[in-house]
Chains A and B, each alone.
Chain A
Amino acid sequence: MTIPQPALPASVATAWWNNAAVRGVFYQVAVLAGVIGLGWYLVSNTLDNLATRGIAAGFGFLGREAGFGIGESLLAYSPADTYARAVAVGLLNTLIVSVLGIAFATVLGTVIGIARLSSNWLIARLSTIYVEGVRNIPVLLQLFLWYSLITEALPGPRQAFNPVSGIFLSNRGFKFPVPVWENAHTIAAAAFVAGCLAAVLIHRWAKRRQDLTGQPFPSVWAGTAAIVGMPFIAFLAAGAPTAMSVPELKGFNFVGGGLISPEFAALWFGLTVYTASFIAEIVRSGIQAVSHGQTEAAQALSLTRGLVLRLVVLPQAMRVIIPPLTSQYLNLTKNSSLAVAIGYPDLVSIANTAINQTGQAIEGIAIIMAAYLTVSLSIAAFMNWYNKKMALVTR
């Protein structure tokens, strides 16, 4: 809606440079030009300096042979592979430790957070000691502690702990038997994905039916059955191969089986334990933010304790919990770059090595920054979506 402006007499008409709209545009253009100019100056200065020093620039090095070994990798990797593949191995290692760290820190943090609210004096105090102790010690020191605990306290591979046949615990890591991957395993994995999908569909159908008819359906049980049962049946149907790769001591080290290396374990434990202490506080504050009257009102409706928690307290607590929780997930992901100190081959460690071998520092740092930015933004986008989903819907 526009309000007609009374025409001003010519004598008091403002000059164009005093016009608020013109000024607004002018300042925005000036700021933009300043930012672009500064950026351009820095970029061209860098390129000039690189040229002056005779340092080759560009991402061409990614296609060259890396020539160095990497301790652990999910992708097949050998020193004959390219730098690009080495960096991919590092990124994958970062993702694994971040995902596992986030999952376990969330569980541990939630348990500790609820325990701090416990009416049991001992449990509540122990949780408090945990939170205050762990979150006030720098995470790098904790990583060193875990790493030296693992490498110093555990015996060498020839004297490894062997509690159950096929399982070895030594300063070379935790070795355990794994099934030899065959077609049946691929089929079972596919069935697992299908089971998860089925569980979601069952849950949606059950909810709609309950909304329409008021008839409940045990969708949790049905969903669990689909997720567990479908891969199991598929595995049996495919012949259920039982061949296992069992670790055994050969020469210096164990051959075969799966491995959790000391570096990975130290980083994973360290990040989990550290981040869990923050998550515990976030969970505690979330639960305490829900007024006790809500619980009492729900109980007055004769809801069971589980339903009170699931339907009344948690949905409201989640609104408080999710935003700071997102920050903790991002922190954990970024803290995983401390891997460099204890020798876990994460993205930063491998990119640093590549930088050193090739001298392409700027390109290497750009890759690290782009990778972390992508991962962090993905986590943030997912958590924002989840936050929106959990937000209080006003009716």
Chain B
Amino acid sequence: MKFLRHAAAGAAMLLAASAGQVWAGATFDAVKARGVVHCGVNTGLFGFSAPDDKGNWTGLDVDLCRGVAAALFGNAAKVKFVPLTAQQRFTALQSGEIDILSRNTTWTTQRDTELGLNFAGVMYYDGQGFLVPKKLGVKSAKELNGATVCVLPGTTTELNLADYFRANKMTFKPVVIEKNEELAAAFFSGRCDVITSDASQLASIRAAQASNPGDFVILPEIISKEPLGPVVRHGDDQWFDLVKWTVYAMLEAEEKDITSKNIDTMSGSADPTVKRLLGLTPGAGKALGVDEKWAYNVVKQVGNYGESFDRNVGMASKLKLDRGLNQLWIKGGLMYAMPIR
């Protein structure tokens, strides 16, 4: 077995060569010295990460990366976005091509351990659903026996799909295409009866790519838990901490009603939590190894979680997704920031 491992390792000499250089220093120091965060995003998922009509990357996943840049450099613009397919994403992170993977990626045991990665929180609690044309007349996912299903390869979605059909003693025929756009095009041309993905993605595909979004319906069954969050690789806990607390800062700001618009008027607040968040009571910044105004910069330049949600996927966007599970814990959702102190 040792020989086989050597043989396999030898076969990927290029990987080794490129890996050697990026592992020279800890990620945190490397990013700081470089002056720009390399952020892996989706090749085009409207609402989460997609270039707008001016070519600027926008979306919920994109905002997290901008937030990290704001916390580290005090400038949310210091991000280089690297669009990745589902199949490329982990290799890109492992090899050091990117520093954060913020690409609607589901948190699973295997990814968290065997792949050598750490999930730094959850940006969106999602679940897998099915999108079908209304004219198919299907009311429930249980009626999908024998269907041809469009699905992205190399995703948890692909595995959940097989599990769900097996559990319900149904058969299906997968059509797997690597790129989101090509896959959606195959679905809308009628190559598949149904396309499956995280429900938020289905809403995104329907809003952005259907000629008439009203002709398509998302079936009521949600067949999986898909907590989507930013990912970093093992080996640098300081970097892991920074990404994690950037997520919490965005949540905590929403909980305390601090927005990008009113943040400058909050400096007179008597609330000790607000004062710690804005860096008026120092401590958290030093602990993270960044400026004390880190959270201020995140909220001022990117916005709190609620603002980002509304703007990208919520009621102020084309997707019109309900907050649902992604509401703050005080309003009945699952979004809960650890105390910043």
CB of A71 within 8 A of CB of B189, answer: no
CB of A356 within 8 A of CB of B90, answer: yes
B12 at the interface (CB under 8 A from A): yes
B330 at the interface (CB under 8 A from A): no
Chain A proximity of B187: nearest CB distance (Å): 10
Partner of B234, one of A53, A68, A148, A263: A53
Known: A67-B159, A250-B146, A253-B173. A52 touches B166 (CB 8 A): no
- For chain B, the count of residues having a C-beta within 8 Å of the partner chain is 63
5-25 of chain B: CB within 8 A of chain A: 5-13, 15-17, 19-20, 23
Chain B proximity of A80: nearest CB distance (Å): 7
A134 at the interface (CB under 8 A from B): no
Known: A39-B10, A71-B175, A356-B86. A53 touches B233 (CB 8 A): yes
Instruction: Annotate B151-174 by CB proximity to A: 1 below 8 A, 0 otherwise.
Output: 001110011011101100000111
Distance A54 CA – B233 CA, assembled complex (angstroms) = 10
B325 at the interface (CB under 8 A from A): no
CB of B176 within 8 A of CB of A349, answer: yes
A45 at the interface (CB under 8 A from B): yes
Distance A68 CA – B174 CA, assembled complex (angstroms) = 9
CB of B182 within 8 A of CB of A341, answer: yes
B116 at the interface (CB under 8 A from A): yes
A340 at the interface (CB under 8 A from B): yes
CB of A46 within 8 A of CB of B94, answer: no
CB of A172 within 8 A of CB of B191, answer: yes
Chain A proximity of B112: nearest CB distance (Å): 11
B190 at the interface (CB under 8 A from A): yes
B114 at the interface (CB under 8 A from A): yes
B338 at the interface (CB under 8 A from A): no
266-284 of chain A: CB within 8 A of chain B: none
CB of A53 within 8 A of CB of B159, answer: no
A138 at the interface (CB under 8 A from B): no
Distance A366 CA – B235 CA, assembled complex (angstroms) = 26
Instruction: Annotate B220-250 by CB proximity to A: 1 below 8 A, 0 otherwise.
Output: 0000000000000111000000000000000
Chain A binding site: helix, strand, loop or mixed by DSSP? helix
58-85 of chain A: CB within 8 A of chain B: 58-59, 67-71, 78-80
CB of A79 within 8 A of CB of B8, answer: no
B215 at the interface (CB under 8 A from A): no
CB of B8 within 8 A of CB of A151, answer: no
Residues of A within 8 A of B115 (CB): 55, 359
Residues of A within 8 A of B317 (CB): none
Distance A128 CA – B205 CA, assembled complex (angstroms) = 43
CB of B11 within 8 A of CB of A365, answer: yes
CB of A251 within 8 A of CB of B146, answer: yes
CB of B162 within 8 A of CB of A79, answer: yes
Known: A58-B4, A58-B5. A252 touches B148 (CB 8 A): yes
B contacts, CB < 8 Å to A:
1, 4-13, 15-17, 19-20, 23, 86-87, 90-91, 94, 110-111, 113-116, 136, 144-148, 153-155, 158-159, 161-163, 165-166, 172-179, 182-183, 185-186, 189-191, 193, 233-235
| A-B contacts besides A55-B94, A356-B87, A358-B114, 7 pairs, CB < 8 Å | A50-B9, A59-B1, A151-B191, A343-B176, A353-B87, A359-B116, A361-B12
